[in-house]
Amino acid sequence: MRIFFRRLAQWSAVVALTAAGTACAGHNGASMFPQGTSAQSAALSGPLSMSRSAQKIRGIVEHGGMHAASGSSNYPITADPPVSHPPEAPCVDKLFNPHTPPLSPSGSPVGTFADYGDHPFNYTPPASCPGPYAKIVMKIKFSVTAGIQYDRTGAVWIGGTNVFFGTTAEPGPGMSPGWTIERDVTEYAPAFANAAPAQASVYNIVNSQYTGIIYGTAELDFYPATKQYPAPSDVADAVYPMAATTTGGYVYLDSPTDQLTGTFSFPQNVQAAYLDVFLEPQNADEFWYSCFPNDLAGKLGNCGNTGFREGEVSVDGQPAGVAPIFPFIFTGGFDPNLWVPIPGVNTLNFKPYRVDLTPFAATLDDGNPHTVSVSVFNDDNYFATSGALLIYQDHGSSQVTGGLISNGTAVSPNQVVTEHVKSTPSGGAQGTIDVSATHPVSLSGYVITSKGRIQTQVTQGIAFDNHQAIVDTDSQYKQNIAQTMTLTSDVSTKSKGHTYKSHAQLKWPFNVGYNYTVGQSNATQVVSILQTRTGTGYDQQRKNAQTWLEQNTVNSTDTLTIVGQNATPSNGKSRQQYKSLNVDGSCYAKTITSVDYMLKNIIKGC
């Protein structure tokens, strides 16, 4: 029997609307912004799905109807640790500030983001401060003027190498957020050795309607190596950027066939290689974890291609690894007040995922060009991406030989979708949708170096599960999501008769409770989010503590009452707990909580 859902007609109207562009990374230009037409208002009525509610709320923000969270100030606030560094004064290389003159006479100051374009600048290494370095830290201070504005995606590249990728905090008519991000970029030291073109990109629109201006001040802090604080052994010998141009820029992936690629000719003594990659969901993929199979998506007024996304990595067309995608939520996601004062996990400062390509090292040593590519399985428009290859060379030899012994990596994940959704007498729907996926990775390769044969075996198991329970009636749209991603990685390195092992397990549980109900004169949206990013493991080649742990959890809830083109928040609560052991220093722990949009408690200590 063919099932017809009443949402189909409403969704047909919605898909004709201009996309809202929260945290927009510049794709499709200014057309990404809502126009606030009467057609939109008519289409965005009744009980709304997550993606349609997002459009509704962005329209409310655009017209100044989002009431500020009562008592909110001094946000955003996180429990994230600062980057550790030696207790000495660094060589500070100032990159830009809000007054740095543009390279083009018609451009904007580099650190003043009030236009929809890239801001190029020239990078120069710090004077009289040669390497090696014990630590290199990228620092950026952001602020946004009070006013009407969306959250935006931001990034900085030096010579095409990404040194920051994240999003900005969303302001309000009486709310001006300010924050600082730090990123350890010590391993990228070769990228900072020479003068290079650079660019900062925070695509923003400022006019009579969108009034919030974003300001940024950036610097690189170089801590020279000393006997007490030597240069770390994991600094790359070379960094090969993967960006839109040699200066930088996002690479956009609109469909599963689009790729972030880099083709390079490498030195012929490569003995290890790693790929760092950023995959940021945008537009129709912003709420990818809430999406339905395509046969239900249109009927129920939701995004499609199921609730599963995954990065697929290849070398010269051969499967070479997997990059799991974290369910980032921007500060305008669901409800801007949900993230005041505590944002979601890594929202302001994304972490790249690292893929071990060492089994392909000998392949890269043959003197021919080689192509590394990344695509996104189930991509439904779109992902903003960037990446970098880190190469480690054998300094005792100019030519390394060897080969890829075996490659048992599956070309694509094994996805299983189960639907138990039935229509209701009123024309709505109720039921469950499950999508699970596995993707085995198995690679083995060897190199013959000046120190002998080194064989590396990489084995990974990736297990993903997304369970959704939905209720869609004339007065309610309810969607509960329970999602888990578990990645187990084992690397075995054999050299000179010894075998060294490293083990890591990543667990990313993610839960969403979403309930949008419609009354006679208003609508109420209640959202609860639980995000966790956990990693544990050990590495037998580490000199000191071999085991490590890192856990970052954010739990937020909020209620939004919507009357016409106005929305009022209430009952906001949030909590972040961050713990780490032997990650960047020996031990760090901090927990922060907020009630009614104000910080209430801070607990520190391991």
Greatest extent of the chain over all pairs of C-alpha atoms, in Å: 78
Q: What is the pLDDT of residue 40?
A: 52
Measured between alpha carbons, how far is 25 from 248 in angstroms, rounded to an integer?
A: 13
Closest CA to 353 of 372, 320, 325: 325
pLDDT in tens, 361-370: 999 999 999 9
- Hey, what amino acid is at 476? Q
Q: Is the pLDDT of residue 478 over 90?
A: yes
- Please say if the pLDDT value at position 254 is more than 80: yes
Q: What are phi and psi of 531, to 5 degrees?
A: -110, 135
Structural domain containing residue 78:
7-604
Query: What band does 36 get if pLDDT is binned at 50, 70 and 90?
Result: very low
Neighbours of 470 (CB within 10 A): 23
What is the average pLDDT across 366-379? Answer: 98
User: What count of Cα atoms within 13 Å lies in the side-chain half-sphere of residue 52?
Assistant: 29
Residue 1 in any domain: the answer is no
Residue type, position 393, single letter:
Q
Q: Which residues have CB under 8 Å from 249's CB, separation 6+?
A: 118, 157, 199, 201, 243
The DSSP letter of residue 288 is G
**Of 12-21, 247-256, 384-393, 475-484, minimum mean pLDDT range:** 12-21
- The tokens describing 71, both together, are 């008592």
Question: How far from chain centre, in Å, is Cα 184?
Answer: 16
Q: Are 120 and 169 in contact (CB under 8 A)?
A: no
Instruction: Give CA–CA dist 200/109, Å, rounded.
Output: 11
Please report, for residues 17, 335, 341, the alpha-carbon distance to residue 313 in angstroms, rounded to integers and kept in the order given.
Answer: 34, 34, 36
Reduced to 3 states (helix: H, G, I; strand: E, B; else coil), residue 186 is helix
**Structural domain includes residue 34:** yes
pLDDT > 70 fraction of the chain, expressed in percent and rounded: 93
Q: Residue 548: its pLDDT value, please? A: 95
Q: Does residue 202 have a pLDDT over 90?
A: yes
Question: Which pLDDT belongs to residue 72?
Answer: 59
List residues bridging with 131 in a β-sheet.
none
Instruction: Give the residue-averaged pLDDT of 215-231.
Output: 97
3-state secondary structure 143-194: EECCCCCCCEEEEEEECCEEEEEEECCCCECCECCEEEEEEECHHHHHHHCC
Task: State whether residue 34 is helix, strand or coil.
Answer: coil
Are 325 and 533 spatial neighbours (Cβ–Cβ below 8 Å)? no
Q: Is residue 564 in a domain?
A: yes
Among 558, 575, 576, smallest CA distance to 567 is for 558
Domain contains 172: yes
Tell me what pLDDT residue 348 has: 98
Quick one: pLDDT at residue 11?
Answer: 36
Phi, psi of 41 (to 5 degrees): -60, -40
> How does pLDDT run across 274-326, given as a tens digit for each residue?
999 999 999 999 999 999 999 999 888 789 999 999 999 999 999 999 999 99
**Does residue 485 lie in a domain region?**
yes
Instruction: pLDDT band for 66, please (50, 70, 90 cuts).
Output: confident
Three-class secondary structure assignment of 505-563: EEECCEEEEEEEEECCCCEEEEEEEEEEEEEEEEECCCCCCCEEEEEEEEEEEEEEEEE
Locate tokens 């609730």: which residue? 307
Residues 6+ apart with CB under 8 A from 387: 162, 241, 242, 243, 260, 262, 275, 276, 277, 278, 352, 374
Helix (H, G, I), strand (E, B) or coil at 290: helix
pLDDT at residue 37, as a whole number? 39
Question: Which letter, b or e, does each residue of 340-377 get, where b requires 16 or more Cβ atoms within 10 Å of its Cβ?
Answer: bbbbbbbbbbbbbbebbbbbbbbbbbeeeebebbbbbb
What is the pLDDT at residue 309?
98
CA distance 34 to 23: 13
Residue 15 CA to residue 97 CA, distance in Å, equals 40
Q: Which of 396, 499, 489 is nearest to 456 (CA)?
A: 499
Phi-psi bin for 456: left (phi > 0), alpha (psi -120 to 50), beta? beta
Residue 335 domain flag: yes
Per-residue confidence band for 174, with pLDDT thresholds at 50, 70 and 90? confident
Please count the structural domains in the chain: 1
User: Is 13 among the domain residues?
Assistant: yes
pLDDT at 410: 96
Q: Is 190 helix (H, G, I), strand (E, B) or coil?
A: helix
- Please provide residue 357's backbone torsions phi and psi, each rounded to the nearest 5 degrees: -105, 15
Determine the average pLDDT of the residues in 581-590. 92
Distance CA 261, CA 332 (A): 30
H helix runs in 45-121, sequence order: 50-62
Cα distance between residue 462 and residue 455, in whole Å: 23
Average pLDDT, the chain: 91
- Partnered with residue 371 across adjacent β-strands are 263
| pLDDT of 331 higher than 80 | yes
Quick one: pLDDT at residue 19?
A: 37
